[in-house]
Amino acid sequence: MSDHKTCEATLTINALMNTIPQNEHKAQTEMAKLNFHHKDINWNGLRDKLKIEWETTLADKCPEEMLSSFTTLCEETCREHVPLKSVSNKKRLIPRDRRILMKKRGHYKNKLTKCPPPFVEAKLRKALLEIETSLIKSHAEQRKKEEIQAVNNIKDNSMFSHKVPHKRYGMSGGPIRSLC
């Protein structure tokens, strides 16, 4: 038997979603900012605060008012007892598309180590080759974007050119020289 209680709500919307004002969607975004998996949540306080006689609280109200008062009560209570999600300022060094490709590559390499039949092995090797070419294209595109950005930054700040070799090739500052 579970110690969880279920709260069901039914809502009928006769209007298009575009006609709903933005402030009604605010509650959804406010609740999404809260971390309900955090270990320091005061569940007892949250439960006690939400022990409300809903029939009397929501009596004599139209459905829109009922919904808005219900969501504001839940939102305020959760804001008191549930901590906010932490925002990570950590920038990923490897772009998402490349991480996905590398994960697939590892998956296919693992399949190849299990001695598959020849026709499956051929398919796996072909897929690996496609992934490798996609990774090479991704690196080339990133370099091209960085070069364009560097050229644009040099136009704005001529000292930017002293930082580019250091970032790319581990050289100290100074003008860009031939690396061959």
Task: Provide CB contacts within 8 A for 120, sequence distance 6+.
Answer: 111
The predicted pLDDT at position 180 comes to: 47
Place of tokens 């939400």: 50
Q: What is the phi/psi pair of residue 123, to 5°? A: -65, -45
The predicted pLDDT at position 107 comes to: 95
Radius of gyration of the chain (CA): 28
> Is pTM beyond 0.75 here?
no
pLDDT in tens, 20-44: 455 555 546 788 888 888 888 888 8
Q: If pLDDT is split at 50, 70 and 90, which confidence band does 177 have?
A: low
pLDDT in tens, 85-144: 887 666 778 888 999 999 999 999 999 999 899 999 999 999 999 999 999 999 999 999
How far is residue 79 from each of residues 8, 68, 139, measured CA to CA in Å? 21, 16, 44
The one-letter amino acid at 123: K
